A and B are shown apart, each in its own frame.
Chain A
Amino acid sequence: MLACSNASRVKSGDFLYGEGCHFFARHQPVLLFIAMSDLSVTPPGASPNVKKISEAVIRFAGNSQDGIQSLGGFLARLAGRSEQEVMTFMTIPATISGGPSIFQVRIASGDVLTSGDDADVLLAFYQHSYEAHIGSLKKGGIVVYDSDQVQPNPELQSKYRHVGVPITNLTVEAIGGTSKDKGKNMYALGLVAKMFDLNVSKLEALITERFGSKEVVLRNSLLAFHAGYSYSLGNLIETFQFVEGHNKGMQQVVMNGNEALAYGLIAAGVRFGAAYPITPWTDVMEIMRRELPKYGGVFVQCEDEIASVSMALGASYGGRVAVTGSSGPGIALKSEAISWGVMAEMPLVVIDVQRGGPSTGLPTAVEQSDLNIAVFGGHGDSPRVVLAATSVEDCFYTAIEAVNIARKYSVPVIVLSDQALATRIEAFEHPNLQKVCQDISPRFDPVSEAKPYDLSAPDGVARHVPPGTPILNGKYPIATGLEHDEMGRPASPKLHGPMVAKRRKKLQLLGAELKAPETYAAKEGDILLVGWGSTLGPIREAVDRARADGESVAALHLRHISPLPNGLEEIFARFSHVITVEMNDEGLYGYGQLAGLLRSRYCDPKIRSLNKTDGLTFKVKEIVERVGKDAIAAMKKF
């Protein structure tokens, strides 16, 4: 009787996925999974005006100065504290203040892989919000609009359920004074809390934690919140109640991708960073500037991108791997120095929070178009390591992995995140920090000799001794960008070949150590979707839906972009089509950046790609529509 849109995916999961295919091992399959779109269904025992639901997608649409982000943030944090899964999605205009902005929250008692394609509830603050976003509602969805600002379209009244609330005036009534534009977000939070029977005392605690230091703001926020909560919404529509989350008993933390990167780096033992502000990277440096001194570290805001990477390399040379970061344009500026790091074999972590490019491009929109510069953006033969984080939780652990690879292989490691991952909020299992936090302080014990670029080292990895280490034979090496001998002294071209090979071989060794990822949903079939980075969620949901429709589709997600793990060719061989799913252009030759990399390694013409460049994350249905057998067959062949 609990028919709903998501039941089929859970059902298919039970008998098709087999063992070990689920990405998050801690998540058990969820059997009770009712979506809000099935509002007509009332489970037995529930009061007719309170519907039990297992998930909801709520979209707030207003202007960026209305505090839409903090409103969504409160809901996300509440979900984290209520043992529920949550994922958010936001857009912001590239202006300091003003401009349309949205924040979408998907809360569920079961797994959440994406922020949701379509919304169950739209809260529209303005006419432009109403008009631009009503189409994002599911059929039969509820639009709550500020009746002081919005004139609803009569033609849409039958398609969507309309609830008008004079939010502007009621907020002024609640707070008084001239706070006309302030506090509407908190009023709306009250409305939503009532609508979804959210835990009021937990929300009050969150509001108090957020605004506690500003007495007037706190008072007004609570007044507006309670006014919204007291509004007699229940007379207009039924209210909803989430079933208990399946993460019961699990301690969760709630943060966005940039926060997870910053804390991951600190947990890994990084105590020095340097950068220049650029959207959407900037919060990472802001957080590290604020946090590092507590741990005895420093983050420096530099005069430019080149100074930043140079300062980080200098600190790494000092004995402790350091970090710099940016977005695409800044990564381009850092390229020469990163290649020095490759040549001098200096450990370094470079974070690239990708945005739409090239050039200034789309500063506040998402794209995955920096794979090529990350992997190939060096002059000369300059192999480096490139990792791509897949979720907010994975940002935390990828940062640690990057630090450890940089140290072990004495090489620059680039971590690719992106604008959507940077700004979306997720709840994830609280890491065991006592176990995870590393001490990577340098040691300065005397050594008898130091030969960093030892050609006879079996792994080919340079072994630097940090300055301050007495070298008893009195021969001090040079860290250098010139082609060099084993001590770092300028070398003749005949040493270039062996040294180039040395720098390449150590990363081939790393590639051999990496385990090929498991496929998702099936080990063989017609179509294998290959993704990288933040698209993991929508690709998996798309696979679930396509399989429910009878398509033979599976997925593979890559976290290690360069070097690639070995063994992918065996996985590809079990599928008729290998299609990468990427937020970048199909390029001059018809395939995206990852597809190009895979084709160059495997020379396999069945590798093609599904691309998009609209500055938005993949919707599940976009992928589903384009992965049907017919759609794949119709793809151009090159």
Chain B
Amino acid sequence: MSESVIETLPVASAAPRKVTRKDLTGEHSTWCPGCGDFSVLALYLKLLEKRQFPQESVANVAGIGCSSRFPYFVQTNGVHYIHGRALPFATGISLTRPDLHVFVFGGDGDGFSIGGNHTTHTARKNVNMTYVVMDNWVYGLTKNQTSPTSPLGSKTKTDIWGSVDQPINPIKQLLAAGATFIARTSSTNPNHLLQMMEAAVDHEGFGVIECLSECVHFNPGSFDAASPRTNGKFELIPASHDVTDEEAAYKLAAAPFPGYFGIFYKSSRPTKNKLEADIITAQQSKTQGKQDWEIMQASFGKMK
């Protein structure tokens, strides 16, 4: 029987020794001092260390933006792709390499503006991967332009009188697209951030986290209201919330800023990875024991 790329790739061998944080630390990061993304990076390294994923079994994919520099700062397989398209690239990895842990890191521009279409369709397809959106409400790398999540009235270099376009609500967007794991957290609450990342990694399917990550340069204090350390409130989703209730999740997502934090929605819809593997199994059951060339010979037999 011909080899299935989906099912029978050799599983990456386990690392011979314990993976330490030092092993996992990549290039010195280039973010501004105080940037919320540092916290996401630190907790991600903690997650990898805690889970003891072998370095070679992890693939980090990013698009373009401040947060998308992420793969350089982690000592595993990394891809720095083009703006907005990290998700389909990661889908190509996920569908052909089920042995890998696929992570995508990006910002609000990647996820909800230039790459908005891909967020919708990766969610709809439910491709197995973990996606962390570091939402800072601004375009930082290009130095202070309006982002798709900038609140109305944001003063930026492209909205000098204050932004006038309705911002996107990431959680509502993801719910409508059919994402099967949707959580919200903040870089200012490390324990919660790690907890959400762990839950997303454990989710079979497309796990998305919107993480508030302050741009200290262009948006200082923008998320103060979401942290008790700055006299704000980090309000958890009520324990009574049924995470499989899409409508209830939608209502929670509609709460005004700072809103709720935690898992809004989680469902166990089959992944594209599984559905495609099932198609392969079904199709290959008809060609059992045949070499690839013999399968093609049979097809050519009908083309005479």
Knowing A315-B96, A479-B79, A479-B80 touch, does A474 contact B118 (C-beta < 8 A)?
no
Give Cα A293–Cα B287 distance, bound, in whole angstroms.
Answer: 10
**Known A253-B303, A433-B296, A478-B72; contact A470-B6, beta-carbon cutoff 8 A:** no
Chain A nearest Cβ from B27, distance in angstroms: 6
Inter-chain contact B286/A468, CB cutoff 8 Å: no
Cβ-based interface call for B257 (8 A): no
CA distance A586 to B76 in the complex (A): 51
Indicate if the CB atoms of A470 and B54 lie closer than 8 Å: yes
Q: Are B2 and A489 in contact (CB under 8 A)?
A: no
Question: How far is B279's CA from A293's CA once the two chains are assembled, in angstroms?
Answer: 7
B72 CB → nearest A CB, Å: 6
Chain B residues within 8 Å of A303, by CB: 117-118, 120-121
- Asked whether B88 lies within 8 Å of A271 as measured between CB atoms, the reply is no
State how many angstroms separate the Cβ of B274 from the closest Cβ of chain A. 12
Residues of A321-378 contacting chain B, CB below 8 A? 322, 336-337, 340
Query: Does B240 reach chain A (CB closer than 8 Å)?
Result: no
CB of A618 within 8 Å of the partner chain: no
Cβ-defined partner of A296 (8 Å) among B3, B57, B75, B85: B3
Listed stretches A27-35, A38-46, A181-189, A305-313; interface member:
A305-313
Is there an interface contact between B80 and A481, defined as CB atoms closer than 8 Å?
yes
Q: A437-B296, A467-B100, A468-B100 are in contact. Are A306 and B88 (CB under 8 A)?
A: yes
Q: Within 8 Å CB of B75, what residues of A?
A: 474-476
Q: Is A272 a contact partner of B5 (Cβ separation < 8 A)?
A: yes
Q: A298 — which chain B residues lie within 8 A by C-beta? A: 5-6, 95-96, 276, 279-280
With an 8 A cutoff between CB atoms, is A448 at the interface? no
Judged by a CB distance under 8 angstroms, whether A490 is at the interface is yes
Which of A255, A430, A471, A479 has the most CB atoms of chain B within a 10 A radius of its CB?
A479
Q: A294-B284, A468-B57 are in contact. Are A320 and B96 (CB under 8 A)?
A: yes
Residue from A300, A304, A433 in contact with B117 in the complex, judged by beta carbons closer than 8 Å: A304
Segment with Cβ contacts to B, from A130-138, A259-267, A570-578: A259-267
Is B88 in contact with A310, judged by CB distance below 8 angstroms? yes
Q: Is the CB of B23 within 8 A of A430?
A: no
- Given A272-B5, A314-B93, A476-B75, A468 and B99 contact (CB-CB distance below 8 Å): yes
> Which of B76, B279, B284 is within 8 Å of A476, CB to CB?
B76
Closest chain-A Cβ to B76's Cβ sits at a distance in Å of 5
A480 to B276, CA, bound (A): 29
Partner of A489, one of B9, B27, B100: B27
A297 interface hit (Cβ, 8 Å): yes
| B90 contacts A by Cβ under 8 Å | yes
Contact residue among A255, A271, A488 (Cβ-Cβ distance under 8 Å from B5): A271
Asked whether, in the complex, the Cβ of B302 is within 8 Å of the Cβ of A209, the reply is: yes
A480 with B80: CB separation less than 8 A: yes
Q: Give the residue name and chain of the B residue nearest to A267 (CB).
A: B296
A291 CB contacts on chain B under 8 angstroms: 299
Chain B neighbourhood of A252, CB < 8 A: 304
Q: Is A482 at the interface (CB under 8 A from chain B)? A: yes
**How near does chain B come to A591, taking the closest CB pair, in angstroms?**
34
Q: Which range contains the number of A residues in contact with the other chain?
A: 35 or more
Q: B15 near A: Cβ within 8 Å?
A: yes
Cβ contacts under 8 Å, B42 to chain A: none
Assess the A77–B304 pair: CB atoms within 8 A.
yes
**Contact indicator A272/B79 (Cβ below 8 Å):** no
Complex interface: chain B residues within 8 A of A319 (CB): 96-97
Residue of A nearest to B14 (CB): A470
Taking the closest CB of chain B, its distance from the CB of A305, in whole angstroms, is 11
Whether, in the assembled complex, A302 has its beta carbon less than 8 Å from a beta carbon of chain B, the answer is yes
B117 touches A263 (CB 8 A): no
Q: Which residues of A contact B161 (CB under 8 A)?
A: none
* In the complex, chain B residues whose CB is within 8 Å of the CB of A433: 293-294, 296-297, 300
Interface size class of B (residues with CB under 8 A): 35 or more
Chain A positions within 8 Å of B80 at CB level: 478-482, 488
CB-CB < 8 A to B300: which residues of A? 253, 263, 430, 433
Q: Which of B1-25 contact A (CB under 8 A)?
A: 2-10, 12-13, 15, 23
Give the residues in chain B near A310, CB-CB below 8 Å: 81-82, 85, 88-89, 92, 118
Question: Min CB distance, B121 to chain A, in Å?
Answer: 4
A:240-294 near B, CB below 8 Å: 252-255, 259, 263, 266-267, 271-272, 274, 291, 293-294
- Tell me, yes or no, whether B65 is within 8 Å of chain A by CB: no
Interface-central residue, B13, B56, B72, by most chain A CB under 10 Å: B56
B292 lies within 8 A of chain A by Cβ: yes
- Between A77, A255, A337, A476, the greatest number of chain B beta carbons within 10 A of the residue's beta carbon is seen for A476
Q: Is B150 an interface residue, CB under 8 A from the partner?
A: no
Q: How far is the CA of A297 from the CA of B292 in the complex (A)?
A: 11
Annotate B49-74 by CB proximity to A: 1 below 8 A, 0 otherwise.
Answer: 00000111111010000000001100
Contact check, A474 vs B81: say whether CB atoms are below 8 A apart.
no
Q: Does A316 contact B (CB under 8 A)?
A: yes
> Which B residues lie within 8 Å of A308 (CB)?
88
Q: Does A72 contact B (CB under 8 A)?
A: no
Closest to A346 in B: B79
Chain B residues whose CB sits within 8 angstroms of the CB of A271 once the complex forms: 5, 96
Are B13 and A480 touching (Cβ within 8 A)? no
Decide if B283 is an interface residue (CB 8 Å cutoff). Answer: yes
Complex CA distance for A421 and B176, rounded to whole angstroms? 43
Q: Are A307 and B121 in contact (CB under 8 A)?
A: yes
Which among A296, A306, A442 has the highest number of chain B CB atoms within 10 Å? A296
Contacting residues, chain B, for A322 (C-beta < 8 A): 92, 96
**In whole angstroms, how far apart are the Cα atoms of A340 and B61 in the complex?**
14
Tell me, rounded to whole Å, the shortest Cβ–Cβ distance linking A382 to chain B.
13
Q: Please indicate the chain B residues that have their CB under 8 angstroms from the CB of A430 in the complex.
A: 300
What are 30 residue pairs bridging A and B, where the CB atoms are less than 8 Å apart in the complex? A77-B303, A209-B302, A255-B303, A263-B300, A266-B292, A267-B293, A267-B296, A274-B88, A294-B287, A294-B295, A296-B7, A296-B8, A307-B88, A311-B88, A314-B61, A314-B96, A318-B93, A337-B85, A340-B81, A436-B293, A444-B13, A467-B59, A468-B12, A468-B57, A468-B100, A475-B75, A476-B78, A481-B80, A481-B82, A489-B72
Q: Known A-B contacts: A294-B284, A480-B78. Give 9 more (CB < 8 A).
A: A253-B303, A259-B303, A306-B85, A307-B88, A307-B121, A317-B79, A340-B82, A467-B57, A476-B26
**Nearest 4 Cβ contacts at the A-B interface:** A314-B92, A296-B4, A293-B283, A310-B88
